[in-house]
Each structure stands twice: as C-alpha cells, then as structure tokens.
Chain A
Amino acid sequence: MITRRQFLKTGLAGGVLLNVAACTRPSENGGRTAILSALIPVVLAGALPAQASAAEPLIVRTIGGIEKTIAGLSLPAQKEIGELFDLLAFAPTRILAAGLWSPWPEATPEALAAFLESWRHSRFDLLKSGYAALHDIIFGAWYAHPDSWDAIGYPGPPEVS
C-alpha cells in the first residue's frame, strides 16, 4: 500500500491531485471564500482584532482585496491559484494533501495552523509554493489597506502637491 508521503513524492503525483481536484469543480470561485474565511484569522492572528465581531468585517474586506489581487495576476497565475483552491476545496484532496479532516468552516485554529505549518515545511515544492501563495495573497491584501498601517507605524505616502 502506498502511503500518503510516497504518493506525494513526485511532482507528477501533485499534478494528479490538482487534476482530480480540478475535475470536480466545487462551489463558487473554487470554494475560495470559505477557505479564506477560515485561514485569514489564523494567518493574520496578532494583526486582526481579537474580538470576532470586530474581525469579521475586516476578514470580508481582506477577501475582497485578495479577489482583486488575483484578478490582476497573469492568466497562467490565476489558473494556478484556481487549481490551488480547487485542491483545498475538494474534500478528498483536502484531507490527503492538507491533512484537514473537518470542512473549512469547522476546522479549529489549531488544525488550520498545523496545516499551514505542514505545507510551509513540506518536503514537496508544490505544497511549499502553495503555502507561499496563501501567505503572499493574504498579507498582501491586508497590508495594502491604509487601515492596517497605524498598527505598524507606517504613516503612508507623503503629500506631493
């Protein structure tokens, strides 16, 4: 029997996973909103307000920023991001590749952090680059917004008249 680790050992296996996930075509925009709603509080912990009611609109805003970022990427990059979210949205590949048994809205922060850490330190380039993509789009959207600047002491661009 092949183990999960062996299955993922080659880029080819990673490609198979992506293809399986892509063929299933889950919900709207690849289930992206549900996945990002779950991941953003974990990735932005320490930057988002601790109170859920205060964080909620900021998470929605950040998802909007991410969608805008993705829409501005090259078409091949948009396709790859689509495949990444397909992989994460489709339950069998979510369990196999991300090790997440619960659907996204029910996953605990600990399980989500463990997923991110496992991809971040994975032996497989495909998963490491998947982590890097999530990292970049979430932080990019958050710190692009002027409301995030106070907390880091950035005054914003100077005036030029």
Chain B
Amino acid sequence: MRDPFREGLAAGWQYIDASELTADKELEADVVIVGSGAGGGVTAELLTRAGLKVLIIEEGPLRTTRDFQMKEAEAYPQLYQESASRKTADKAINILQGRCVGGSTTVNWTSSFRTPPTTLNWWQSAHGLKSLSVEAMAPWFEMMERRLNVSRWAQDPNANNAALARGASKLGIPVEIIPRNVKKCWNLGYCGMGCPTNAKQSMLLTTIPNSLYLGAMLVSRLRAERLEISGNQITSLKCVALKVDGLNTSGINVTVRARHFVLAGGAINSPAILLRSKAPDPYSLLGKRTFLHPTLVSSGLFEQAINGYSGAPQSVYSDHFLDNVAVNGPLGFKLEVPPLHPVLFSTTLQGFGEAHAKLMKNFTNSQTILALVRDGFHPQSTGGQVRLRSDGSALLDYKLNETYWEAARRALLAMAEIQFAAGAKWVTPVHESSAGFNTWAEAKNGLAELPLEPLRCRVVSAHVMGGCAMGDAPERGVVSDVGRHFQIENLSVHDGSVFPTSIGANPQLSIYGLIARNASELAKTLTGQSKAATL
C-alpha cells in the first residue's frame, strides 16, 4: 500500500516532529493554525492557495497509512484524545475525539451530512445568524463534497446497519443511506483506527498534504499553550514540545509569531487555550454551551451472524425521531450504528464476570444501535462548560438533566423496538441495572421503569461542538458569523466550537462547509484580493 504522506515528506515537505527538538525555537508565518483536523485542514489549504505562508501546529503525533494496523491497542493511545477515554468531569460521558495529524477526520467513521436545514433555520431565527441560510451554505457544502468525494454508500450495508434498516422499515420508520467521504473504499470496517487503504478522504490525505505541497509547514507533538495578548492583538503563541510519549512536555519551548492566528483544536481545546490565555470575554460566553449529542447505546442478540467489526461502519441512519419533534421541543435523536470491535464493545458493555463473558461470547451475533440526542435547542438543554484543571488542561463539565433523560428513555424504547422488529432474540440498553429483555413487550415495560441516571445508563459522545459560539453581536457570541473573534482583531476560530447548538448530525461536513466559507473570507481579507480561493 502506498503511503502518500511519507512520500511527500521524502520529497522535502516542511515538517518538524517537535519531540525531536533539542533547543528552543522561534517560528514565523503569515498565519498559524492550531489544530490539523476538519477546520484546520480546510483553512490551511485555502490560505496556502491564496499565497499566504501557513504554519500548522498539531499536539498529536503524525501517523500515516502504513502505521494504521487496525489494532485497537495501538490506535486508541496513538490517535485519540486521552487514549479514547476522555471523559466529562463527572465521568458520566466518554468522549471519542481524534488527536493526531488530521484530528478526528483521521479516525472518524466517514459519515458526511450537510448541516440540516432545521439547524441552519434555527441559527438564523434564534441566534441571529442571518447569513447562514440553506441557500447560502449550499455551494460550500457542494465544494467540500466534491473535494472529499462524498457520496451515498453504494455497496450493501453490513449486517449491523442492515438490521437498523430492516427493523425500522418493518415499523414504518423511514431510513436513509449515509453519504461517506471515501474513494475506492475496501469496505473493511476499521475507519476508527485510521484508514489503511487511503480510501478515507480525511484531512491527513487531502488538505494537509496539499498545503505542505504548496509550501506550508507542519509541526506535530507541539502543544499550543498560550496566546500572548496585548490590547486587541495577539503578539505571539507560546508552545511547548511534547516528548515521544505525547504526554509529558520535553522542556523545549517554541514561540510562534504571525499576522493572524487561527484556533482549530476542536470544541474542548480551542476554548481551553483562550481560557489559559485569559482572552477577553466581556459577556462570559467562552467555554459555555458545549454540546455533545449525548448518545445512548442499545445492544441486541441475533440468531444470525452480524460481525459488526466488518464493513463500512455507518451506512444507514434514520432522522425520524428528529423530524417528529419541534426543534426546540422535547429532544429529538438521530439513529445510527457503531462499528463493533472487542475493546470498544467490551468496555462499553455493562457488568462483569460470567454475565459479561456471556455477552462477549455472543460478540459476533451482537447488533448495536446508537441514538445521538440533539442538544442545544430546548431552553433546558444548555450543554456543558469547558474549564481548566489546576495544570491548565481542559475539562468539560456536562450535566445530564431531566430534559435529557426524558429523551433518553424514548430513545432506548425506539432502539429496542427496532431491534426486536429486525429479529433480535434479546435486547438490552447499555445500563448497569438492566438484565435485558426477551420480547418487545418486556422491554416496553422494563424500559419505562428503568432508573436513568449518570454512570448507570451509559452515555457516550463522538461529537463535541460549541464553546466559542458564533453570534450576531459580542453580547451573543465569542466570534462573528465568519469566525472572527469579537475582541481580538487578529484571531479566528475555525472548528466545531463555533456552532451555537449541536448540529443534529455527525458534524464533519458541517465543519468543512462552514470553515471553507470562513477561511475563504479570511484569505480575501488577509491578501486584499477580491477573488476567493477554492478547493
């Protein structure tokens, strides 16, 4: 298998692994971008194409095609924030987020949805973001879909996805096929551990290599610690190099000077660096309203093999339970399935000892559905808050309240009903007090009674959004509708942290589209050119 990134490095791309630095260093660029994920990657290529000298700073390591061995034991510590065990402050929600060159786009499951019209309309009406209409955003989504080869999955869904489709259809619940950002996909099922076949059109394979080819510079294993702010200007960015372990700092400092600074570290890390930098926050909005699509899990046992580790992880979804509620009413949820691999599955499943072993013996016959709850629209769904630990690292507080649990119960019921309709012999929510159910009638009664609380009912997330929300005015946002910081002139935020609510869909394409628009605007402003760069 070719490793295009390594080929580029061999051809002389500008790249530094900061763990190898032996002395303090100063770097200069027109624009420095903190983070190399969906927002950072798109920004890097658009600005580089506009002729600007771009420097990309990434805290995680550079791992490329040949490193992706499809082993959970290697992938989680190397490619994910906190070894894939990042948690909310109360430990009730486990968060999957990438931490490597390419960010979450290197490890996501490739689902590519445009920002739903319901969400854009709500941002226009409730958050004053008049410019973000469905029509105005469409060309940006189109551009990114073309660039990343997004199309509806044309092969058969794997058995895990097919069961969602079958059960839902039997109940008259509409399902759709998921668009994926892949090219010549081998249908292996290991997207979450880095694509070993160069099929996934992640930032690692597209915008970052293109930026480097055009002259940008990448530094990995470098943590952006603090922005030095003087008045309404950032004067420099202070970074610390990490050791090879990616955890401890090496004692080497790197100072970066630039005309303009772009934060794209994701919705936990971007607010955190602004908090560490004591950035102006006159309306106390920074780090607030952080959303997660807090996700419920329901597992069913089937007579036939499901082999949920094999085949495109996500190819079928249903928005029925988003569409049948008012956007700001009782919380709706999107139904999808996850890939099933031994570590992720065994650590997610409840219980221990013989009971757990029995569930694991049925690993290949297990089918799992996820319900991603749309947070941030209902008045009682205000999300979480990013704060700093005493060592300056980021911590997300997110309280799951009654408004959430009401939706969670509907979601667990909906998933169990679909699984029984699809032919499941046994279904359980992932919940410490559930012994599972043999029929839909049993499940209906049992789930109605089940106590739903943090750390009893398993809640997970792979989508972090908000914390540096866009607003139409400084009183209502950290950044403007093009991502410019309201108080600091030479600062933009270009990642999912600018969303004022959750998206109500897997967020990668929402980030690509919005950030393509905002980076294009930024390129025009910084170069004084009237014609926008395109991808």
Contact assessment for A144 and B343 in the assembled complex, using a CB-CB cutoff below 8 Å: yes
Asked if A120 lies at the interface with its beta carbon under 8 angstroms from chain B, I say yes
Asked if A27 lies at the interface with its beta carbon under 8 angstroms from chain B, I say no
Candidate in B73, B355, B433 with the most chain A CB atoms within 10 angstroms:
B73
Given A136-B347, A140-B343, A45 and B363 contact (CB-CB distance below 8 Å): no
Candidate in B86, B342, B393 with the most chain A CB atoms within 10 angstroms:
B342
Q: What separation, in Å, do the CA atoms of A116 and B454 have in the docked complex?
A: 18
Contact assessment for A47 and B455 in the assembled complex, using a CB-CB cutoff below 8 Å: no
Scan A112-138; emit 1 where CB is below 8 A from any B CB, else 0: 010010001100010011001101101
Interface pick from B77-85, B175-183, B414-422: B77-85
Contact assessment for A46 and B196 in the assembled complex, using a CB-CB cutoff below 8 Å: no
Q: What separation, in Å, do the CA atoms of A142 and B352 have in the docked complex?
A: 12
Residues of A within 8 A of B156 (CB): none
Contact assessment for B83 and A69 in the assembled complex, using a CB-CB cutoff below 8 Å: yes
Residues of B within 8 A of A77 (CB): 82-83, 85
Contact assessment for A116 and B352 in the assembled complex, using a CB-CB cutoff below 8 Å: yes
Asked if B353 lies at the interface with its beta carbon under 8 angstroms from chain A, I say yes
A149 CB → nearest B CB, Å: 6
Scan A78-109; emit 1 where CB is below 8 A from any B CB, else 0: 00000000000000000000000000000000
Contact assessment for B364 and A157 in the assembled complex, using a CB-CB cutoff below 8 Å: no
User: A125 touches which one: B247, B352, B363, B454 (CB < 8 A)?
Assistant: B454
B89 CB → nearest A CB, Å: 10
User: B197 touches which one: A72, A139, A160 (CB < 8 A)?
Assistant: A160
Given A154-B364, A160-B197, A43 and B352 contact (CB-CB distance below 8 Å): yes
Q: What separation, in Å, do the CA atoms of A47 and B353 have in the docked complex?
A: 8
Candidate in B72, B188, B190, B247 with the most chain A CB atoms within 10 angstroms:
B247
Q: What separation, in Å, do the CA atoms of A69 and B395 have in the docked complex?
A: 20
Contact assessment for B347 and A44 in the assembled complex, using a CB-CB cutoff below 8 Å: no
The closest CB in chain A to the CB of B196 belongs to: A160
Asked if A148 lies at the interface with its beta carbon under 8 angstroms from chain B, I say yes
Asked if A13 lies at the interface with its beta carbon under 8 angstroms from chain B, I say no
Contact assessment for A128 and B360 in the assembled complex, using a CB-CB cutoff below 8 Å: no
A26 CB → nearest B CB, Å: 24
Given A46-B356, A46-B357, A161 and B1 contact (CB-CB distance below 8 Å): yes
Q: Is the interface of B mostly helix, strand, loop or mixed?
A: loop
Contact assessment for B346 and A142 in the assembled complex, using a CB-CB cutoff below 8 Å: yes
User: B346 touches which one: A46, A143, A157 (CB < 8 A)?
Assistant: A143
Residues of A within 8 A of B349 (CB): 139
Scan B219-257; emit 1 where CB is below 8 A from any A CB, else 0: 000000000000000000000000001011000000000
Asked if B406 lies at the interface with its beta carbon under 8 angstroms from chain A, I say no
A6 CB → nearest B CB, Å: 21
Contact assessment for A74 and B357 in the assembled complex, using a CB-CB cutoff below 8 Å: no
Q: What separation, in Å, do the CA atoms of A161 and B2 have in the docked complex?
A: 10
Contact assessment for B347 and A135 in the assembled complex, using a CB-CB cutoff below 8 Å: yes
Contact assessment for B360 and A47 in the assembled complex, using a CB-CB cutoff below 8 Å: yes
Which residues of B from 317 to 362 have beta carbons under 8 Å from A?
341-343, 345-347, 349, 352-358, 360-361
Which residues of B from 85 to 105 have beta carbons under 8 Å from A?
85-86, 90-92
The closest CB in chain B to the CB of A120 belongs to: B432
Contact assessment for B70 and A132 in the assembled complex, using a CB-CB cutoff below 8 Å: no
Count A-side interface residues using an 8 Å CB cutoff: 43
Asked if B25 lies at the interface with its beta carbon under 8 angstroms from chain A, I say no
Q: What separation, in Å, do the CA atoms of A153 and B365 have in the docked complex?
A: 9
User: B82 touches which one: A47, A74, A135, A140 (CB < 8 A)?
Assistant: A74
Asked if B309 lies at the interface with its beta carbon under 8 angstroms from chain A, I say yes
Given A44-B357, A129-B455, A157 and B342 contact (CB-CB distance below 8 Å): no
Asked if A76 lies at the interface with its beta carbon under 8 angstroms from chain B, I say yes
Q: What separation, in Å, do the CA atoms of A151 and B358 have in the docked complex?
A: 11
Asked if B389 lies at the interface with its beta carbon under 8 angstroms from chain A, I say yes
Asked if B527 lies at the interface with its beta carbon under 8 angstroms from chain A, I say no
Contact assessment for B343 and A42 in the assembled complex, using a CB-CB cutoff below 8 Å: no
Contact assessment for B82 and A144 in the assembled complex, using a CB-CB cutoff below 8 Å: no
Asked if B71 lies at the interface with its beta carbon under 8 angstroms from chain A, I say yes
Asked if A75 lies at the interface with its beta carbon under 8 angstroms from chain B, I say yes
Asked if A158 lies at the interface with its beta carbon under 8 angstroms from chain B, I say yes
Q: What separation, in Å, do the CA atoms of A139 and B432 have in the docked complex?
A: 16
Asked if A152 lies at the interface with its beta carbon under 8 angstroms from chain B, I say yes
Q: What separation, in Å, do the CA atoms of A44 and B346 have in the docked complex?
A: 11
User: A157 touches which one: B70, B86, B357, B433 (CB < 8 A)?
Assistant: B70
Given A44-B357, A154-B363, A129 and B1 contact (CB-CB distance below 8 Å): no
Given A125-B90, A142-B346, A157 and B190 contact (CB-CB distance below 8 Å): yes
Can you report 17 A-B residue pairs in the complex whose CB atoms are below 8 A from each other? A46-B357, A46-B358, A71-B245, A72-B77, A72-B245, A73-B85, A75-B393, A125-B92, A129-B92, A138-B352, A140-B346, A143-B360, A149-B342, A152-B364, A153-B361, A157-B69, A160-B196
Known A47-B356, A143-B346, A153-B364; further 6 A-B contacts with Cβ < 8 A: A73-B82, A75-B393, A125-B91, A143-B342, A157-B190, A160-B197
Which residues of B approach A to under 8 Å, CB–CB? Answer: 1, 69-73, 77, 82-83, 85-86, 90-92, 186, 188, 190, 196-197, 245, 247-248, 309, 341-343, 345-347, 349, 352-358, 360-361, 363-364, 389, 391, 393, 395, 432-433, 454-456
Kindly list the 10 A-B residue pairs having the minimum CB-CB distance in the complex, ordered from nearest: A46-B357, A157-B70, A72-B77, A129-B91, A144-B73, A143-B342, A152-B363, A128-B455, A153-B364, A46-B354
